[in-house]
Amino acid sequence: KRARSSAAAAADASDTAAAAASFTLSGGEPCCAAGVAALWRAGKLCDVEVLVEGRTFQAHRVVLAAGADYMAALFDAGMEDSARRVIELPDMPASAFEAVLHYLYTGETECSDEALPALLQAAGRLQVVPLQRVAVAALQARLTPVNCVAVWREADQLTLPDLVADARKVALAGFEELGDTLADLRLEWLRSLLEDDALAVASEEAAFEAVARWVRAQRPPPDEATALPLFGAVRYPLMDGSFFNERVLVEPLLRGAAGKDMVIKNCTGHMFGIATVRPRSRGRIFVIGGYTSAIRNGITQVDVFDVARGVWAAAPPMAAGRYCAAAAVMGGKIYVSGGYDGSNFLSSVEVYDPARSVWEAAPPMATSRSGAAAAVVGGKIYVS
């Protein structure tokens, strides 16, 4: 073998020393993302157009592919569509796609409560997983009896089981506040709510009237075989006798032989002890704040009475002690507003989520007040 020169050996040694002495320079800001976003805003070097609801959006294929799995699959499919300069997305609101596009380039996007369901659907369809995740969290935080049915349908379509469960929970807790959205419940969903012991209704009469309203609102009207299972989920033995005689027995939807037979069987089993009709769980009673003879200032204490079990238990305390506060329940959460702490009138608002057993701060009222009343109307809380 030919001997290597001393110069070559020295070069090798120098390279090894340089590799061992390598280091990282840090402290700078990554410029790639910001630079691409600037190019996009300026409409430069864009190589694809997305047509949505008649509007054309300029973009870069690499950005769409990197952030949206649907686009990555489309561009990498090797089909004729993958090489097209113009891509059309039918059945999607242009405003929703615009919000998704802004998120892909900047990592954030503006959205209103009304536009949030459409944004979630767009993120799901385009498979922008991080945006879908934050949109779900935003919807979960904004669930009310007014919007829970629409969110339930959207979550079911997008196969989001956690959001489905949360929407159903709000529908159970705010059943009598669903209003016109009651008609949008699928039959099997309404039946599952009626069969649930936790359905929050003031009386079984309210459950019956809800079924009657749902059946009459359907187009085309359901046949008897479809409607009867819903009426059969109502717990007739829990009704007032006069309502049963004057309302149930004369309901036109139950005048047929099958309807009468269903009602009779529902009642006779209970009358003769063959079957037991469980009462609806009336939930829990919360006693929040107040003051004691020993502590004249407002207290943070919260006590809970379980109606079904007949026992008291402690719940997590509020952050601020208060008495003479206004309280209201919406979407299964308790909102406590204002009050007096023994020295000052309060404008602060705290929200208790029984499902998670936690208190959270909400935006304060514009005016401090004590001794006010709170009411829920149309998904909003009014304190006066």
Helix (H, G, I), strand (E, B) or coil at 216: helix
Instruction: Inform me whether the pLDDT recorded for 22 exceeds 70.
Output: no
Q: Which residues of 345-363 are buried (b: 16+ CB within 10 A; e: fewer)?
A: ebebbbbbebeeeebeeee
Q: What is the residue extent of each domain of the chain? A: 22-142, 173-272, 284-383
Contact call for residues 142 and 119 (beta carbons, < 8 A): no
Instruction: Inform me whether the pLDDT recorded for 274 exceeds 60.
Output: no
Cα separation, 30 vs 40, in Å, equals: 17
Contact call for residues 64 and 119 (beta carbons, < 8 A): no
Report the pLDDT averaged over residues 325-329.
Answer: 93
Selecting from 3.40.1110.10, 1.25.40.420, 3.10.129.10, 3.40.630.30, what CATH number does the domain 173-272 have?
1.25.40.420
Residue 221: asked if its preceding bond is cis (omega within 30°), the reply is: no
Residue 7 CA to its chain's centroid (Å): 72
Predicted local confidence at residue 289, as pLDDT: 93
281-284 long-range contacts, CB within 8 A, separation 24+: 281/197, 281/198, 281/307, 281/308, 282/307, 282/308, 283/198, 283/200, 283/307, 284/354
Q: What is the mean pLDDT of the chain?
A: 86
| CATH class of this structure's domain 22-142 | alpha beta
Q: What is the pTM of this model?
A: 0.65
pLDDT tens, residue by residue, 294-323: 767 889 999 998 765 678 989 999 999 999
- CB atoms < 10 A from the CB of 30, how many? 7
Checking DSSP bridges between strand 86-88 and strand 55-59, what pairing results, if any? unpaired
Report the pLDDT averaged over residues 144-159.
Answer: 92
Percent of the chain having pLDDT more than 70?
86
Cα separation, 384 vs 113, in Å, equals: 25
* DSSP assigned state of 59: E
